[in-house]
């Protein structure tokens, strides 16, 4: 029986992991990978271009509770197939964009596809299908999909050099249809047969989640996640000018920025190694400690340049772990009933902060330089640490 469950788990997890890698690379990382190329070819500024991506993230955040509700109802396969097909069509349509309004329209609708195809929806689906087994499944999916940026940047660069960015978008659309779509269909079909999926409520109501959303614990968890997004957002999006202000060469800054992604994967591997010994809440608290060490190291790197290495490792590892423990902690603290809806509501402040963090950092820099931005990151980590600690205490007292 154990071997049979293990095979069933693998038949769900590995297809989802590969599918998530593909859709993250195509729907999400294609934007930063092609931003400079679009600026050169289309003649629009980075600010104009980035506004479209911000709009996509805001729309994805607003639709997250709806997608979660559909998944809770047992419509996960329809959500993933529909949003994957939509994303592929938009990538293909993007190859024909000529005007800025068209650019915005495509990315705003892409926000709908993101809401039903990326991590939030995937983790809600895994939680519904696998219940208590979801923790390890989520870790493995995030571990594999964590290489999406590593795959996307060089692949898009090579394809753009060979055939231009418009043809590259068509290739990405084809990869989503040929690669991700059948994997999503297969994994969700297997998952629907699981015991946890059959026993889950099939007709939940959005109103059922309202008491949880109104609770103090919910808002403490939301504050924790928003703090994570603020910390990483203000540091990572401004990392190159921030390191330039601190006296590092452009080559060193680019190398440091490029290594944060692999360190996220390293952090997830460490979490996987300790998952049987440390609770998800314990891992979350450890991730805040790591990000605090990272921010303090960055603050001191202008005096001791070697501290940059410590910053890269602890920031990447600390932030990388949070993506896999967020859904697990949500389930443990707020319950698995109506999980998709509740995690969707939590995604609104989290993704909203992801979208707002670069602008917040730019405003703060204009007032107090990048030292002020780093101090904000430290403050965010402290607030997040206190929020999740209070949530843990309240959960245990219940």
| Average pLDDT value for the chain | 86
Q: Give alpha helix (H) positions in the chain.
A: 2-23, 30-42, 46-72, 76-94, 100-117, 119-130, 134-145, 148-175, 181-191, 195-199, 210-213, 216-236, 239-245, 250-274, 280-300, 307-334, 339-397
Query: What is the pLDDT averaged over residues 259-284?
Result: 84
Confidence category of residue 81, pLDDT binned at 50, 70, 90 = very high
Query: What is the pLDDT averaged over residues 36-51?
Result: 84
Q: Which one of 199, 221, 237 terminates a domain? A: 199
Does residue 1 carry a pLDDT above 50? no
Query: What is the pLDDT averaged over residues 21-36?
Result: 89
pLDDT given for residue 356 in this prediction: 84
| Max intra-chain CA distance, the chain | 62
Confidence category of residue 193, pLDDT binned at 50, 70, 90 = low
Does residue 203 carry a pLDDT above 70? no
Confidence category of residue 310, pLDDT binned at 50, 70, 90 = very high
Q: DSSP characters for 203-235?
A: S--GGGGHHHHTSHHHHHHHHHHHHHHHHHHHH
d(CA 361, CA 351): 16
Q: Which one of 199, 222, 246 terminates a domain? A: 199
Crossing angle of helices 30-42/46-72, nearest 10°? 150
Q: CATH number, domain at 249?
A: 1.20.1250.20
Confidence category of residue 207, pLDDT binned at 50, 70, 90 = low
pLDDT given for residue 359 in this prediction: 82
Does residue 22 carry a pLDDT above 80? yes
pLDDT given for residue 206 in this prediction: 60
pLDDT given for residue 340 in this prediction: 81
Q: Which one of 199, 226, 244 terminates a domain? A: 199
pLDDT given for residue 107 in this prediction: 94
Confidence category of residue 47, pLDDT binned at 50, 70, 90 = confident
pLDDT given for residue 2 in this prediction: 46
Q: Both 211 and 195 in a single domain?
A: no
d(CA 8, CA 191): 8
Q: Both 235 and 192 in a single domain?
A: no
Q: Both 224 and 174 in a single domain?
A: no
Q: Both 93 and 227 in a single domain?
A: no
Radius of gyration of the chain (CA): 20
In contact, 329 and 388? CB cutoff 8 Å: yes
Q: Both 191 and 214 in a single domain?
A: no
Confidence category of residue 220, pLDDT binned at 50, 70, 90 = very high
* Host domain of residue 262: 206-397
Please name which of 99, 101, 120, 114 lies closest in space to residue 31, comparing C-alpha atoms.
Answer: 114
Q: Residue 303 corresponds to which tokens in the numbers above? A: 């005096």
Does residue 6 carry a pLDDT above 70? no
Does residue 219 carry a pLDDT above 60? yes
What is the reported pTM? 0.80
Confidence category of residue 204, pLDDT binned at 50, 70, 90 = low
Does residue 348 carry a pLDDT above 60? yes
Q: Both 125 and 36 in a single domain?
A: yes
Q: Both 228 and 277 in a single domain?
A: yes
Q: Both 224 and 110 in a single domain?
A: no
- The DSSP letter of residue 192 is T
């Amino acid at each position: 029986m154990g071997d049979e469950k293990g095979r069933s788990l693998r038949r769900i997890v590995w297809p989802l992991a590969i599918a998530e890698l593909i859709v993250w690379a195509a729907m999400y990382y294609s934007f930063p990978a092609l931003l400079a190329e679009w600026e050169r070819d289309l003649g629009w500024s980075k600010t104009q271009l980035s506004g479209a991506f911000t709009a996509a993230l805001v729309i994805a955040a607003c639709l997250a509770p709806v997608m979660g509700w559909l998944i809770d109802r047992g419509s996960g396969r329809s959500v993933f197939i529909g949003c994957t097909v939509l994303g592929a069509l938009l990538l293909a349509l993007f190859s024909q964009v000529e005007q800025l309004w068209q650019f915005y329209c495509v990315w705003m609708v892409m926000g709908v596809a993101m809401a039903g195809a990326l991590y939030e929806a995937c983790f809600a689906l895994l939680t519904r299908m696998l219940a208590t087994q979801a923790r390890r499944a989520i870790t493995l999916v995030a571990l594999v999909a964590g290489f999406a940026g590593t795959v996307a940047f060089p692949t898009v660069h090579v394809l753009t050099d060979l055939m231009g960015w418009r043809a590259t978008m068509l290739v990405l659309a084809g990869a989503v249809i040929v690669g991700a779509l059948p994997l999503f269909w297969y994994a969700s079909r297997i998952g629907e047969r699981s015991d946890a999926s059959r026993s889950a409520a099939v007709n939940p109501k959005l109103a059922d989640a309202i008491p949880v959303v109104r609770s103090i614990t919910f808002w403490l968890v939301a504050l924790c996640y928003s703090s994570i997004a603020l910390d990483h957002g203000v540091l990572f999006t401004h990392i190159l000018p921030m390191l330039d202000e601190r006296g590092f060469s452009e080559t060193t800054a680019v190398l440091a920025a490029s290594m944060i992604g692999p360190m996220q994967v390293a952090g997830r591997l460490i979490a996987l190694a300790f998952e049987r010994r440390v609770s998800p809440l314990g891992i979350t608290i450890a991730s805040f400690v790591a990000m605090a060490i990272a921010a303090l190291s960055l603050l001191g790197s202008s005096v001791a340049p070697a501290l940059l290495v410590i910053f890269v490792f602890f920031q990447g590892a600390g932030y990388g772990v949070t993506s896999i423990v967020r859904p697990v902690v949500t389930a443990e603290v707020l319950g698995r009933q109506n999980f998709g809806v509740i995690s969707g509501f939590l995604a609104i402040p989290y993704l909203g902060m992801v979208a707002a963090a670069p602008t917040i950092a730019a405003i703060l820099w204009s007032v107090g330089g990048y030292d002020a931005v780093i101090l904000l990151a430290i403050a965010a980590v402290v607030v997040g640490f206190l929020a999740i600690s209070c949530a843990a205490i309240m959960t245990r007292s219940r």
